[in-house]
Amino acid sequence: MKEMCYNEAVDFYPLKGSVFLLSGKTILIGVTGGIAAYKVPNLVSMLVKQHADVHVILTKGGEQFIPPLPFEALTGNRVLTDTFERTQPPEIHHIALAKKADLLLIAPASADIIGKLANGIADDMLTSTVLPCRCPILFSPAMNDRMYANPIVQDNMAKLRHYGFIQIDAAVGHLACGDDGKGKMPEPAELYQYIERELACEKDMAGMKLLVTAGATQEAIDPVRYITNHSSGKMGYAIAKAAMLRGAEVTLVTGQTAIAPPPFVKVVPIVSARDMFEAVTAAAPEQDIIVKAAAVADYTPETVADQKIKKKDGDMSIPLKRTDDILAWLGKNRIPGQFLCGFSMETENMLENSRAKLARKGIDLIAANNLRVEGAGFKGDTNVLTLISADEEIELPIMSKEKAAMQLLDQILKMKK
């Protein structure tokens, strides 16, 4: 199976794998006059670490906040400021850059640059480069909250969106002028996520809706205690992010975890197995693909005490009852063309038990792993999966959960054709 896209060494967002995500991509960063310009060298450094070819264009206002030298040191490329700058050999810089750009981001985007571009004005190096660009163009407005709310500025931003520009909405917080309100440029890690979404992968899942479950459920015993398991949610979260990067519309139904959910994904938090059953069955009819990666409790207490159960002499037993079988319900109630994938965590007889589960649940694919195998199972950053369908078994070597997620999606798309 081909490896679509993975990432390595992005310590500001936990997606790790075997190749550099943005290698070979040419990214233009336009920096205009605003105090938020101080954040941009950090973003540029993140992109360079991913082996992107980064070119920075500074407006005259941008130079007042950040000089060219830091950007040139980070990128190894000359910072361009003058449309008519002469070089040897001669080159029409704004056209040459526009032709080779895979993405252009303006950050910070001042009210001035937004107004110019909304009205087709090209009077400096940045605006002259934007107009001939055929790649995705993102802009991150940053200004005082009163300027941001001005109806003229709002109309200009709407006009840019109408023409296909992608707006990264401003954050709310303390502004450089001392006011508090909407107008802050988001942090570099968030800007990076927008770039990653656009460039990371071939969008071979565009137009598809995918639901993935992740994490452990919690079955209450009393207001203090509950029954759960060791699932960290990392595998399900990796699948959600991988599908998002490949263009799918993703819904993540998740138990409580210690990891941040991936961006650009609809997150539905749940607590108990019953909560997850209701969330999944409500959303299932709209999904093209459902991947059940969560570790759902098979049993739940018959009754939940209203008060904390006090310790007493002697032993204690808790009567349990079966929880709803989500995967079996999906197998019986699937819509035409829907693809269903389950996970199987075993400690013995993995292939036999997983094949029996595949048939019993009436689904298309099982991603099986054995807790006894080094590198597989809960909490770790790696997994060792065997992809089991009615016709074949594909044994994957140990790899990061992010890479395993990509391999799993490759197989799902292959089978779904």
pLDDT digits (tens, 9 = 90+) for 180-230: 899 999 999 999 999 999 998 999 999 999 999 999 999 999 999 999 999
Is there a single domain that holds both residue 193 and residue 238? no
Is there a single domain that holds both residue 138 and residue 235? no
Tell me whether residue 2 is in a domain: no
Is there a single domain that holds both residue 135 and residue 222? no
Per-residue pLDDT, 86: 67
CATH number of domain containing 376: 3.40.50.10300
Is there a single domain that holds both residue 178 and residue 226? no
Per-residue pLDDT, 88: 56
Q: Which residue has the tokens 């790696």?
A: 382
Q: Which of 5, 133, 135, 177 is catalytic?
A: 177
Tell me whether residue 6 is in a domain: no
CA atoms 122, 191, 251, 199: torsion sign: positive
Q: Which residue has the tokens 């087709």?
A: 120
Tell me whether residue 3 is in a domain: no
pTM of structure: 0.90
Domain enclosing residue 69, as ranges: 26-199
Is there a single domain that holds both residue 362 and residue 215? yes
Cα–Cα distance for residue pair 196/332, rounded to 1 Å: 38
CA 176: distance to chain centroid?
30
> Is 177 labeled as catalytic in the residue annotation?
yes
Query: Which domain-ending residue is among 155, 170, 199?
Result: 199
In the 3-class helix/strand/coil scheme, how is 279-307 assigned residue by residue? HHHHHHHHCCEEEECCECCCEEECCCCCC
Cα–Cα distance for residue pair 44/55, rounded to 1 Å: 9
Is there a single domain that holds both residue 213 and residue 194? no
CB 252 within 8 A of CB 290: no
Is there a single domain that holds both residue 187 and residue 224? no
Is there a single domain that holds both residue 185 and residue 213? no
Cα–Cα distance for residue pair 230/184, rounded to 1 Å: 39
Is there a single domain that holds both residue 69 and residue 169? yes
Tell me whether residue 239 is in a domain: yes
Per-residue pLDDT, 188: 96
Is there a single domain that holds both residue 288 and residue 376? yes
Cα–Cα distance for residue pair 164/229, rounded to 1 Å: 46
Tell me whether residue 267 is in a domain: yes
Tell me whether residue 100 is in a domain: yes
Q: Report residues of the chain scoring pLDDT below 70.
A: 1-20, 86-90
Per-residue pLDDT, 53: 96
Query: Which domain-ending residue is among 199, 222, 253?
Result: 199
Query: Which domain-ending residue is among 199, 234, 262?
Result: 199
CATH number of domain containing 162: 3.40.50.1950
C-alpha pair distances (Å), 99 with each of 52, 75, 104: 16, 19, 11
Per-residue pLDDT, 185: 96
| Amino acid identity at 298 | D
Is there a single domain that holds both residue 253 and residue 377? yes
Tell me whether residue 173 is in a domain: yes
pLDDT digits (tens, 9 = 90+) for 98-151: 999 999 999 999 999 999 999 999 999 999 999 999 999 999 999 999 999 999
Is there a single domain that holds both residue 30 and residue 123? yes
Tell me whether residue 312 is in a domain: no
Number of domains in the chain: 2
Cα–Cα distance for residue pair 217/271, rounded to 1 Å: 6
